[in-house]
Amino acid sequence: MGITYDNPDITARDKCRYDAAFSIPNEITEASGEIGIQQVEGGLYAVCREEGERMEDVVQKIGETVDFMYGQWLLDSSFQLADKPCLEIYCQKERHDGSAFMIDYCLPLLPK
């Protein structure tokens, strides 16, 4: 999972913040060094999924889809962006024709 805090179209790329994350059991309550524990806030999210045989293609498609979500869908919807980070959920799944990659981009929302 990725947690994105900034938009690279607005924030300089070297200033963009991103947390690489994964789920851990509830019994783990401490971390050390550069590893931290945080809880992802629930709520309403618009979720867009892109799939493909090559990760590079999926990343390109999700970028185009995210541009559409911000540039058109959100403006035309009955929602506004919530003040919390977006989520990227990465999966690799086996299919009959080999491995496929999948990214779910989760845009946090509030009703307008």
Q: What is the pLDDT of residues 49-58, one digit of tens each?
A: 988 888 888 8
pLDDT confidence tier of residue 41, bands split at 50, 70 and 90? confident
Q: Please say whether the beta carbons of 73 and 28 come within 8 A.
A: no
For the segment 81-100, what is each residue's pLDDT rounded down to a tens digit?
A: 999 999 999 987 766 655 58
* Model confidence, pTM: 0.84
Contacts 24+ apart (CB under 8 A), 51-55: 51/100, 51/101, 51/102, 52/100, 52/101, 53/97, 53/98, 53/99, 53/100, 53/101, 54/101, 55/101
* pLDDT at 43 (0 to 100): 96
Terminal-residue alpha carbon distance, the chain: 28
Phi, psi of 61 (to 5 degrees): -65, -40
34 versus 75: the higher-pLDDT residue is: 75
